[in-house]
């Protein structure tokens, strides 16, 4: 093969290789161009969204919590400015040193320090960390004046819950607090660090209404998440205002009248079921919980024997004592086992088998007693005999018709049912049959009968309104519209003969207005404002036979507080046209006529003088009234 032919062959091979290499390069370039076209044209929208999501953050804005108002628009719970001091780690450089400087101006506890340092380590350096909240104006001024010496420290302004009437409304309104892990539902709003939800009382019951709806802020951020600017903002929707049935003026008066007693009082409208005042004493200031309760305050609450954290009006369960005699009388009259003219002899004691039950007037007794006198003088022997005749089951049935032995459904949490015993209950819970002696105890509101002050108020209201099943409630309106419990139809009749009701009604009138009535000294003397009522004293310890036989009596001051009888009083007014029912229970108050009755008298007199029936602003139409 000649040289020329070899060169031609070599050129052909090179050309083929060059073409193959060029084709491969062209194919790779075409694939690259195709991929770029796919990413930049076909998938352009998708990657645009991803880029925007990486550049734009959506920040939730917490809504202002709705207010809670009384029936006349007086704020009971509202929001106020919350001044808090925050620190930015990247600006402070030495956070611990800055905290030392800050501690010379305001109180910074060891717990605050630990929390701040923990948050600084967890969060980005440019994110503010709260050091303390709810600063007063003096603290804010000190920090602002010394700002040049406090690098990274600034004052932030937010909102916190505030209860202007403090202890007067603590048990009813409850309080708000930070969201716990168990309360997280996946709703993003609940994960905001400063967000608060209702933890108890009306704040909890109406939390969703009060909470409102979150807003949103679109902000542009850089690669590390620092906010550059706000692009768009949608304001949060404030929570709805909740209007209660309470009259805060009457509530404050009742609280002051109870004073230092461990007690509960309820005032309600006998026709609508509106609770006008509901006081439990001692109470607590819900502002303490909103600001964060410290360990010392919590321990003091728990150590207090008068249990200030308990809402005694709905959680306290007490023997009703002689106030329960209204149910014994109604059950017996309704069953026909006695008449108003039935006479029972009271020698001061009542014998059943080989045991004796005593009347409170056990020295000589009351003599021959009819129903009117028995109610007026609260004769135990008359009601022992009456309870024996009617039996526990009919007695229990009547008590339940008047609201005892079950929760009434009041629109705040924590209500307890009390206890109205029956034969079946005794077998199921105690494992032995009911005895007649237990019937005698139940007939005077002792033994295993337990009621709440709210139940006593409802029982009184149903007597005073002629026997209609009025149901108590606290919510009047939500967001300016009637609450669902206000829209209910007229309350049904309890089915008790009006003539039967009138005998008990008139007996309660005599208790307060007849000179021989047990509450005559606590009567309302103003014409047209008179009240009716029934005293009660419930034993918390059994008086031994030896004490009675030898007349061993200790002076009231000598009896340890926990061994003293509970003092009770139920009442309604005015007697000519009843409108308000009131129940008062004073724990270990000894005598209903001396301790509880004067409180109820003053509260009912105040209620009438305040004229709670007047038209409040924006009065809601169509409120229920008792049928008939």
> Which residues carry out catalysis?
322
Copy the structure tokens of residue 598: 């004067």
Sign of CA dihedral 317, 319, 324, 328: positive
Beta carbons within 8 Å of 16's beta carbon, 6+ residues apart: none
Rounded Cα distance, 96 and 365, in Å: 79
Is residue 162 within a helix (H) or strand (E), and if so which, with residue range?
strand 153-162
Q: How far apart are CA 325 and CA 331, in angstroms?
A: 10
Q: What is residue 98's DSSP assignment?
A: H
Q: How far is CA 521 from CA 266, 372, 524, 579, 595, in A?
A: 22, 19, 9, 22, 12
* CA distances (Å), origin 506, targets 212, 463, 512: 51, 11, 10
CA of residue 22 relative to chain centroid, distance: 84
Q: Find all residues with CB under 8 Å of 246, minimum gap 6, and list them.
A: 70, 71, 76, 169, 172, 275, 276, 277, 278, 474
* DSSP track, 190-236: GGSTT-EEE-SHHHHHTHHHHH-B-EEEEEEE-TT--EEEEEEEEPP
The angle, 0 to 180 degrees and rounded to 10, between the axes of the packed helices 380-390 and 325-335 is 40
- Taking the C-alpha atoms of residue 131 and residue 115, their distance in angstroms, rounded to an integer, is 8
Provide the CA 571 distance to its chain's centre, in angstroms: 25
Residues 6+ apart with CB under 8 A from 375: 325, 326, 329, 504, 507, 508, 510, 511, 534
For residue 277, is it left (φ>0), alpha (ψ between -120 and 50) or beta?
beta
Please give the backbone phi and psi of residue 368, each rounded to the nearest 5 degrees, phi first.
-75, 125
**Mind giving me the DSSP string for 127-158?**
S-EEEE-S--HHHHHHHHHTGGGSTTEEEEEE
């Amino acid at each position: 093969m000649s040289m020329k032919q070899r060169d031609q062959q070599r050129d052909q091979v090179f050309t083929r290789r060059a073409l193959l290499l060029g084709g491969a390069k062209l194919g790779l370039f075409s694939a690259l161009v195709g991929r770029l076209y796919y990413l930049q044209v076909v998938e352009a929208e998708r990657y645009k969204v991803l880029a925007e999501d990486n550049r734009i953050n959506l920040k939730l804005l917490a809504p202002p919590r709705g207010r809670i108002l009384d029936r006349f628009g007086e704020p009971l719970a509202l929001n106020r400015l919350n001044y808090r001091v925050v620190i930015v780690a990247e600006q402070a450089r030495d956070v611990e040193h800055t905290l030392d400087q800050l501690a010379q101006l305001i109180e910074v506890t060891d717990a605050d320090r630990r929390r701040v340092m923990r948050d600084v380590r967890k969060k980005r350096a440019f994110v503010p960390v709260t050091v303390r909240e709810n600063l007063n104006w003096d603290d804010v001024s000190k920090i602002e004046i010394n700002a040049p010496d406090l690098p990274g420290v600034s004052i932030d302004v937010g909102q916190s819950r505030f209860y202007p009437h403090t202890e007067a409304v603590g048990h009813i309104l409850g309080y708000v607090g930070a969201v716990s892990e168990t309360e997280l539902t996946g709703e993003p709003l609940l994960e905001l660090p400063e967000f608060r939800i209702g933890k108890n009382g009306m704040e909890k019951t109406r939390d969703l209404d009060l909470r409102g709806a979150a807003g949103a802020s679109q902000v542009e951020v850089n690669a590390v998440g620092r906010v550059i600017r706000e692009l768009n903002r949608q304001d949060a929707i404030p929570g709805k205002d909740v209007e209660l049935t309470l009259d805060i003026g009457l509530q404050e008066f009742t609280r002051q009248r109870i004073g230092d007693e461990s007690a509960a009082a309820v005032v309600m409208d006998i026709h609508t079921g509106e609770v006008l005042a509901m006081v439990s004493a001692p109470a607590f200031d819900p502002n303490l919980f909103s600001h964060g309760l410290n360990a010392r305050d919590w321990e003091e609450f728990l150590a207090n024997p008068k249990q200030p954290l308990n809402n005694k009006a709905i959680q306290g369960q007490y023997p009703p004592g002689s106030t329960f005699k209204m149910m014994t009388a109604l059950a017996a009259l309704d069953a026909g086992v006695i008449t108003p003219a039935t006479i029972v002899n009271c020698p001061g004691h009542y014998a059943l088998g080989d045991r004796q039950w005593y009347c409170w007037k056990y020295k000589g007794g009351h003599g021959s007693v009819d129903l009117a006198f028995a109610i007026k003088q609260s004769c135990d022997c008359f009601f022992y005999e009456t309870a024996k005749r009617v039996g526990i089951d009919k007695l229990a049935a009547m008590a339940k018709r008047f609201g005892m032995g079950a929760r009434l459904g009041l629109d705040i949490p924590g209500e307890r049912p009390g206890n109205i015993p029956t034969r079946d209950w005794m077998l199921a819970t105690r494992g032995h049959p009911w005895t007649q002696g237990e019937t005698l105890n139940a007939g005077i509101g002792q033994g295993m009968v337990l009621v709440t002050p709210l139940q006593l108020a409802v029982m009184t209201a149903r007597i005073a309104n002629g026997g209609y099943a009025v149901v108590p409630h606290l919510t009047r309106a939500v967001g300016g519209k009637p609450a669902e419990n206000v829209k209910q139809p007229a309350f049904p009749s309890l089915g008790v003969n009006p003539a039967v009701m009138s005998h008990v009604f008139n007996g309660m009138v005599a208790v307060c207005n007849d000179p021989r009535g047990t509450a005559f000294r606590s009567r309302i003397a103003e014409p047209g404002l008179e009240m009716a009522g029934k005293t009660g004293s419930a034993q918390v310890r059994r008086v031994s036979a030896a004490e009675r036989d030898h007349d061993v009596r200790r002076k009231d001051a000598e009896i340890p507080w926990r061994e003293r009888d509970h003092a009770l009083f139920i009442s309604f007014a005015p007697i000519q046209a009843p409108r308000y029912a009131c129940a008062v229970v004073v724990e270990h108050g000894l005598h209903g006529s001396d301790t509880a009755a004067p409180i109820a008298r003053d509260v009912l007199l105040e209620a009438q003088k305040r004229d709670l029936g007047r038209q409040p602003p924006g009065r809601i139409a169509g409120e229920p009234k008792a049928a008939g």
